[in-house]
Amino acid sequence: VFFGPNYYRFREAREMTAGGMAYSVTNSDELAQQVNGLLADREKLEAVSAKAGKYVQQRSGATKKIMDLLTPALR
Cα distance between residue 40 and residue 35, in whole Å: 9
- Can you give the pLDDT at residue 41? 97
The pTM (predicted TM-score) of the whole model is: 0.72
Closest listed residue to residue 32, CA positions, set 67, 68, 62, 2: 2
Mean pLDDT, each 10-residue run in order, the chain (75 residues): 93 94 96 96 95 89 83 82
Q: Is the dihedral of CA 50, 54, 60, 62 positive or negative?
A: negative
